[in-house]
A and B are shown apart, each in its own frame.
Chain A
């Protein structure tokens, strides 16, 4: 490509966010061509935005851990635990029929308690990865198992039921094509953006992921920042759990285990470096939307079972890794 416009295009392709934006437009075009009149509709987009919040928030959780040089494989289990506690708490208070107070108050109390649980789970991860020096993959794999176990003990392996409608009806609130839980996702994304790019904690997290040894030598308290990062991850997981129980009126210990791979896919798609030190929130948000668009598009072909999607996601993950590698490595000088 020659000429000024050509060079600019090539340079822009180096920016991961730009790449995804291009992809998004491409998917939109393909969708409207393949299913004319049905893809670019209000109803369709409403459905897209309704579904993506749960794992979009989980992706944000995995994102901060990845940036710090680690990963969080326990987010789904934390989310489930929180969903179970939330649902059980509400069904035993508002839903029991003996409750005479304001439902909103109870919901608020339940949310706060669940936030605390999420933070505690995150703190466990942060402690393991930071102070106890366990590799993040092993630590979160183990803690995920432990948290799954706790959920199983609470529910005795069953799904919970009886979540009161005062709570679940909140899922139906909509502003134009955006449902309530999308706003939750949006708020989370905005807050994460501010944290990661505008606070010193965010900058430090990037640096720890980039070179944790140099971070210590520069006076950064790695263990403390890692603790915070994983606690944020746990908190976000709890938010995702609340949304999930609100939308589905039930919860179980091993719901959504495929979300983990999906969250990692979103992170990689969004330009996050799996080794740490690089990534941005905008990429995550765009990647979430694009992947949901693709999922919805596949959904429209009713004869394709949901399992074909697993093949697509797996293949997409590998392809994105390779594409990112090729584009980013063209400019690396080996010394």
Chain B
């Protein structure tokens, strides 16, 4: 057993009456890859922010390097060798790569004057460690998402880190990049660094971890060796209930009825010459890594792109989907990638969030908004989709990720769209809600709705899509159907 580097004991934290962490304890050992998993709201983000000094715990202590702390500042945390790589990278877009790499170290040093020579050396050392080739003078805002991720990792390695915490680090990475990342993680493990790997992606968790801790409702429900864990037990601890792994076959659409079709569609800077078809009643998958054009294609079908060449047809007729309004008129709905910034009105009630897409339908004949009808309708959706808590006057920000995604789904289902496009439908959604969403999509597709899912989650695509279009480098690389859809085939076609 490796030596204990960092531990938290009996940590509790509440925000405005909500208990985020309840008497939590955890041990991190040197040279070990420790996976921390949990649904949104389970407290795993909070414990990380406490370890990094961003939050102060209400009670309990943090032990590191033989010292005990009842609270830490970000500088103290960094000085003890704790580095966090956040999901949003926490980089400064307006500063150069070199500055981003070395600024944390400069601040931690405590000096008031900046020594640019020292910063440059720090930056050089950082990129050497992971063999990263990048232009030091470039502004981070101009870099690709993958490069930004690498910079964030390189930055974490600067400061002789003892503990590196990666918070959903693989969310925006291609398979190749994930492999590179895992190589780096193994290298660090050899050097005795402790890695805390926060993820909800089952395949990654089982691929890389030595030990696993699962949080639920603010409590540490299990900490054990990876070898003692399997998929079913994992789901059980995450959700607290048994999830039946449904082995239904994906729906097959009706090729005689083509709901939507693109011919040689080209959008500048995104994709080109894309020709595809959407059958009625099917769930069509669009797969592909970041930058393959997968997301952009989904957006273009919803009126969010300027078409350079080619055409789109809806039910056989050529249409110009020039705006979101036009798309809505054609019966197309869209569940966006990032529900927090693109899908929800966090400070508004669930009623407003559901009603927003069809306010006209909720008005009386004089054009006056009918709040009662809207409220009833929201209640209907809360019940149908099992959204909890079920108070329709709740503000959207109070819900967990999975329930929030259901609200976004509800607002489009309420429009009764003929075609529903979902971009990354279960990102950051807990296992229980994931299955609920899959069931819902199957239900509506079987009743005639045509669904497009753009996703980089291979397991998800394999589970619910009978046909998949795989994008690569802005073009369609392969179209797989039925039995052809295997993990191997999907991966091969995307890289």
Interface residues of B in 323-363 (CB under 8 A from A): 323-325, 327-328, 334, 336, 341-348, 352, 355-357, 359-360, 362-363
Q: Confirm or deny: B223 has a beta carbon within 8 angstroms of a beta carbon on chain A.
A: no
B15 touches A332 (CB 8 A): yes
A200 touches B369 (CB 8 A): yes
- Once A200-B360, A211-B341, A214-B342 are accepted as A-B contacts, the answer to whether A333 and B347 lie under 8 Å apart by CB is no
With a CB–CB cut-off of 8 A, which chain B residues contact A102? Answer: none
A214 touches B344 (CB 8 A): yes
Q: From B299, which residue of chain A is reached at the shortest CB distance?
A: A217
Interface residues of B in 309-333 (CB under 8 A from A): 323-325, 327-328
- Once A207-B352, A214-B341, A221-B325 are accepted as A-B contacts, the answer to whether A330 and B16 lie under 8 Å apart by CB is yes
With a CB–CB cut-off of 8 A, which chain A residues contact B45? Answer: 335
B343 touches A217 (CB 8 A): yes
Q: Bits for A93-108, please: 1 = Cβ < 8 Å to B, else 0.
A: 0000000000000000
B16 touches A206 (CB 8 A): no
Q: Confirm or deny: B41 has a beta carbon within 8 angstroms of a beta carbon on chain A.
A: yes
B328 touches A219 (CB 8 A): yes
CB distance from A147 to the nearest CB of B (A): 32
Total A-B residue contacts, Cβ distance less than 8 Å: 84
A277 touches B15 (CB 8 A): no
With a CB–CB cut-off of 8 A, which chain A residues contact B359? Answer: 200, 203-204
Q: Confirm or deny: A202 has a beta carbon within 8 angstroms of a beta carbon on chain B.
A: yes
- Once A200-B369, A218-B356 are accepted as A-B contacts, the answer to whether A334 and B15 lie under 8 Å apart by CB is yes
Interface residues of B in 344-392 (CB under 8 A from A): 344-348, 352, 355-357, 359-360, 362-363, 367-369
With a CB–CB cut-off of 8 A, which chain B residues contact A330? Answer: 16
Q: Report how far A197 CA is from B324 CA in the complex, Å.
A: 25
The 8 Å CB contact of B368, one of A199, A329, A332, A334, is A199
Q: Report how far A333 CA is from B346 CA in the complex, Å.
A: 12
Q: Confirm or deny: A210 has a beta carbon within 8 angstroms of a beta carbon on chain B.
A: yes
With a CB–CB cut-off of 8 A, which chain B residues contact A277? Answer: 345, 347-348
B357 touches A332 (CB 8 A): no
Q: Confirm or deny: A215 has a beta carbon within 8 angstroms of a beta carbon on chain B.
A: yes
CB distance from A94 to the nearest CB of B (A): 38
- Once A211-B345, A333-B398 are accepted as A-B contacts, the answer to whether A203 and B355 lie under 8 Å apart by CB is yes
CB distance from A80 to the nearest CB of B (A): 34
With a CB–CB cut-off of 8 A, which chain B residues contact A331? Answer: 16-17
A199 touches B341 (CB 8 A): no
Q: Confirm or deny: A220 has a beta carbon within 8 angstroms of a beta carbon on chain B.
A: yes
The 8 Å CB contact of A210, one of B16, B327, B348, B398, is B348
Interface residues of A in 218-248 (CB under 8 A from B): 218-221
Q: Report how far A197 CA is from B16 CA in the complex, Å.
A: 30
CB distance from A182 to the nearest CB of B (A): 27
Output the residue of A204, A213, A216, A334 with the most chain B CB within 10 A: A334
The 8 Å CB contact of B41, one of A203, A206, A215, A335, is A335
Q: Confirm or deny: A11 has a beta carbon within 8 angstroms of a beta carbon on chain B.
A: no
Q: Confirm or deny: A198 has a beta carbon within 8 angstroms of a beta carbon on chain B.
A: yes
Q: Confirm or deny: B155 has a beta carbon within 8 angstroms of a beta carbon on chain A.
A: no
A203 touches B324 (CB 8 A): no
Q: Bits for A256-287, please: 1 = Cβ < 8 Å to B, else 0.
A: 00000000000000000000011000000000
Q: From B55, which residue of chain A is reached at the shortest CB distance?
A: A334
CB distance from A196 to the nearest CB of B (A): 10
Residues of B within 8 A of A (CB): 15-18, 20, 40-41, 45, 323-325, 327-328, 334, 336, 341-348, 352, 355-357, 359-360, 362-363, 367-369, 397-398, 411
- Other contacts beyond A214-B336, A333-B18, A335-B41: 6, CB < 8 A: A198-B369, A200-B362, A211-B341, A213-B342, A221-B323, A333-B398
A-B contact pairs, 21 of them (CB 8 A): A199-B367, A199-B368, A199-B369, A200-B360, A203-B355, A206-B352, A207-B345, A210-B346, A211-B345, A213-B341, A217-B324, A218-B324, A218-B356, A220-B356, A221-B325, A277-B348, A332-B15, A332-B397, A333-B16, A333-B18, A334-B15
